[in-house]
Amino acid sequence: MATVSRSIGGLAVSAIGLGEWPLSDTGRPGRSAAIATIRAALEAGVTLIDTADAYCTDHTEFGHGEELVAEAVGGRDDVLVASKAGCTRQHGSWGLDGSPEYLRRACDASLRRLGVEAIGLYQLHAPDPSVPLSESAGALGELMDAGKIRMVGMSNVDTSQIREANEALGGRLASVQNEFSPRVRTSLPELELCERLGIAFLPYSPLGGVGAANRLGGAFAEVGERHGVSPQQVCLAWELALSPVVIPIPGSRRPSTIRDSAAAMRLRLSEEDLNTLDKE
């Protein structure tokens, strides 16, 4: 099926990506079912897969998500694999380490797991309050200069952090990944700043998150009925309509849900649809 493209740092990627997290953390499907879900995404025209070294159940299997993606993607060079560093999973709990030494080590480990010479998009998972953001971003900039990363992104950042990171990177910040969905719209100022700066904005948990995605109803269901599509597809198309820099990355545990989500690339909402959704 035809892929509708958007851009990250000048590189064309599908307008809908796949968020890999639910395939690696608690409640995940078996390995072959997880691989089948990623391959279903690729077959549906998805060319952006978002993962992280911390997508696993605990430190004993750190990097689970990256290894899974590497196996499923199989070295295809038309697919942008986006990973992240800066979060730890000691005994399953989430921690932060944004120190340059940690990020350099994490990058080498991710390169090995992904089996690539350079990581397509490498994102700081979240700022570490004990490390100046300019130092974390600067370390990622140096990794880019060394050819280990092609593009740098930031996640869980506010508008001043976006400006600070972009400055530390000499204006080369390619993407911002923040939570954004009909339920959680607090990152609208960050989305608008990204549009002004020409930075891709990747809404995470774009359907409201695992456990909430199937509760999308109301106006999303009403517009879905008009088009004969799911409320989730309408939700993703609504996010795409907010700005040309938006690239949602819905998570999936099953081929059928990512196939349905990927079709949102081609769903065009009318003014009437958008007015209906505005009232939600």
Active-site amino acid positions: 55
Encoded one letter per residue, x for contact with ligand NAP by CB under 6 A and - for no contact, window 81-120 reads ----------------------------------------
Taking CB under 6 A as the binding criterion, the range among 97-105, 108-116, 127-135, 227-235 that sits at the site for ligand NAP is: 227-235
What is the closest distance, in whole angstroms, from the C-beta atom of residue 167 to ligand NAP in the complex? 22
What is the closest distance, in whole angstroms, from the C-beta atom of residue 236 to ligand NAP in the complex? 8
Spatial separation of the C-alpha atoms in residues 40 and 57, rounded to whole Å = 24
Spatial separation of the C-alpha atoms in residues 91 and 112, rounded to whole Å = 23
Please give the residues from 167 up to 226 whose contact with ligand NAP meets the rule CB under 6 A.
177, 204-210, 213-214
Q: What are phi and psi of 76, to 5 degrees?
A: -60, 125
Encoded one letter per residue, x for contact with ligand NAP by CB under 6 A and - for no contact, window 19-58 reads xxxx---------------------------x--------
What is the closest distance, in whole angstroms, from the C-beta atom of residue 123 to ligand NAP in the complex? 7
Can you state the angle between helices 218-227 and 271-278, rounded to 10 degrees? Answer: 160
The CA–CA distances, whole Å, from 2 to 9, 123, 153, 212 equal 22, 28, 27, 29
| Nearest of 187, 114, 121, 118 to residue 156 by alpha carbon | 187
Helix (H) or strand (E) holding 5: strand 5-8
C-beta of residue 68 within 8 angstroms of C-beta of residue 56: no
Q: Which of 39, 254, 266, 280 binds ligand NAP (CB under 6 A)?
A: 254
Closest to ligand NAP by CB, 92 vs 170, is: 92
Residue 108, classed as helix, strand or coil, is helix
Closest to ligand NAP by CB, 168 vs 237, is: 237
Closest to ligand NAP by CB, 61 vs 145, is: 61
C-beta of residue 150 within 8 angstroms of C-beta of residue 144: yes
Q: Which of 187, 251, 267, 277 binds ligand NAP (CB under 6 A)?
A: 251
Spatial separation of the C-alpha atoms in residues 235 and 140, rounded to whole Å = 33
Closest to ligand NAP by CB, 146 vs 221, is: 221
Spatial separation of the C-alpha atoms in residues 169 and 137, rounded to whole Å = 7
The secondary structure of residue 254, as a DSSP letter, is S
Asked if 260 interacts with ligand NAP (CB under 6 A), we say yes
Taking CB under 6 A as the binding criterion, the range among 114-122, 135-143, 160-168, 244-252 that sits at the site for ligand NAP is: 244-252
Q: Which of 83, 110, 187, 257 binds ligand NAP (CB under 6 A)?
A: 257
Where residue 223 falls (left for φ over 0; alpha for ψ -120 to 50; beta otherwise) is alpha
Q: Which of 127, 261, 265, 267 binds ligand NAP (CB under 6 A)?
A: 261
Closest to ligand NAP by CB, 24 vs 276, is: 24
**Residues in contact with ligand NAP by the rule CB under 6 A:** 19-22, 50, 125, 155-156, 177, 204-210, 213-214, 230, 232-233, 249-254, 257, 260-261
